[in-house]
Amino acid sequence: MSTSINNDKAALAFSSLNIHQDLLKNLSSLGYQEMTPIQAMSLPEMLVGKDVIAQGKTGSGKTAAFGLALLEKLEVKRFRIQSMVLCPTRELADQVAKEIRKLARAVHNIKVLTLCGGTPFGPQIGSLEHGAHIIVGTPGRIEEHVIKGTLKLDDLNLLILDEADRMLEMGFEAALDNIIERTPLDRQTLLFSATFPKQIQTISESIMTEPVIVKVSASEDQSNISQRFFHVENDSQRFSALRLLLLDNPVESTAIFCNTKKETQAVCNALHDDGFSVLALHGDLEQKDRDQTLLRFANKSVAVLVATDVAARGLDIDALDLVFNYHIAHDSEIHIHRIGRTGRAGAEGLAISLYSDKETYKVGLIEDEFDQTITPELLPSTDVLKNARHQAKMATIQIDGGKKQKVRPGDILGALTAKSSNAGAEISGKDIGKINVLDIKAYVAVDKKVLKLALRKLTDGKMKGRSFKVRHLTV
């Protein structure tokens, strides 16, 4: 038997929760004051130990919700694996681990370990031998560890499935079963999903005990997003319409969602040939290329990302100005999740959808979901074809050195802003964007106008007493 909570609770302060004062102080320092609807509905239930199924879009605050529940439950002095978060992709796992560390920074000695594919297995064994409190990872790699006995889950008391629908969609059901059967039966289980296919109901019945179901209504969740729809006759007109609308809406960051990998790459290629700053993100890319694509889009050195739904899970973008549905999604819940990537954190968002006669029934489903009538708009005049193709303001520089070489963000910032012997050849802090330091590589976004100078400074200068190879990542 389960309990459902569908009504959105009024905004509540985090201070109303019965959680540790150190966590509350840290939340305040991070600027977290009032809970989002999904947090207000799910956190009280999670904090009293109930199993919870929660439906929420990207940007709804679900990671902070289960992160706080996880940290409140954790016994820091028990150096055992107590909590585990399973995610569909390495990108989302990295994002979740980063958020948990941020929420935990007021609590000393908490160790969060990330276990994902695409990285060497050996070093992960070493990390596990040193112990951890929290594991975040992908089903395939975690299954590999539990089967080989390098990951013991005997002390696990909290299991979280994040983006559960995508894990099932990506074929991870057998891996999930294999992992879950090795966890204690008396654990608490939390399941977060953007959509609710029948498989979610089936899996929840087998692994959860009387779960509370939390669902934020779509119309409330998307109230700050303006949706526009345009009718097209065929695929040729579809691309022409996309080009016109991109040129009529020159924003900093645009995501275009396609239904297939082949279509994603074709749209990206056509836009690139037309002069747009664009990259594709889909399952056929190597992990290294996926990582660099996401990084460059997030740091504003690429203006347009064309992506499939699965590949874009874990897309961590602070301000996505515009979302395109090149084709209408296969169901209205995926549509809701797509458009939810714009208008995050209460900002105004814009979502544009293209549809043909064959997709009219899908538009009808969206009308029912949002309880509104959709009227197609007229496309912009072809005069906009004269407009310049919007280019990214930033450029990304790769540095062949990272955490293992003791490189820190401050070292990169210092090398770029160091005084130069050439008069006027200086870079200020405002010219520097995001800095990402990984194990053996680092990436920094710089304003394009100082790119050559930045490359010279990083090549000629030294960090940690040594020189590193650097290169500009181009489309």
In CATH, 394-473 is 3.40.50.1010: no
Q: Say which residue, 459 or 56, is predicted with more confidence.
A: 459
pLDDT in the model for residue 345: 57
**37-41, 126-130, 217-221, range with the lowest pLDDT:** 217-221
Predicted confidence (pLDDT) per residue in 284-313, tens digit: 888 888 889 989 998 999 999 999 887 666
Q: Binning pLDDT at 50, 70 and 90, where does residue 3 land?
A: low
Is there a common fold for 220-386 and 394-473?
A: no
pLDDT category at 10 given cuts 50, 70, 90 is very low
pLDDT in tens, 99-121: 999 999 888 889 999 999 888 89
pLDDT of 196 above 90: no
Average pLDDT of the residues of the chain? 88
Asked if the model's pLDDT at residue 8 lies above 50, the reply is no
d(CA 238, CA 440): 42
The pLDDT score that the predictor gives to residue 422 is 62
pLDDT at res. 312? 64
CATH of 3-216, one of 3.30.1330.10, 3.30.1360.30, 3.30.420.40, 3.40.50.300: 3.40.50.300
Instruction: Give dist(CA 43, CA 34) in Å, integer.
Output: 13
What pLDDT does residue 80 have? 93
The Cα 157–Cα 284 span in angstroms is 36
Beta-bridge partner residues of 161: 86, 191
Higher pLDDT, 178 or 201: 178
pLDDT given for residue 34 in this prediction: 86
CATH class of residue range 220-386: alpha beta
Q: Average pLDDT, stretch 352-375?
A: 90
- The pLDDT tens digits of the residues spanning 331-363 come to 777 788 788 778 765 667 899 999 999 999 999
Q: Where are the domains of the chain?
A: 3-216, 220-386, 394-473
Give dist(CA 168, CA 192) in Å, integer: 12
The structure's pTM equals: 0.70
Per-residue pLDDT at 297: 92
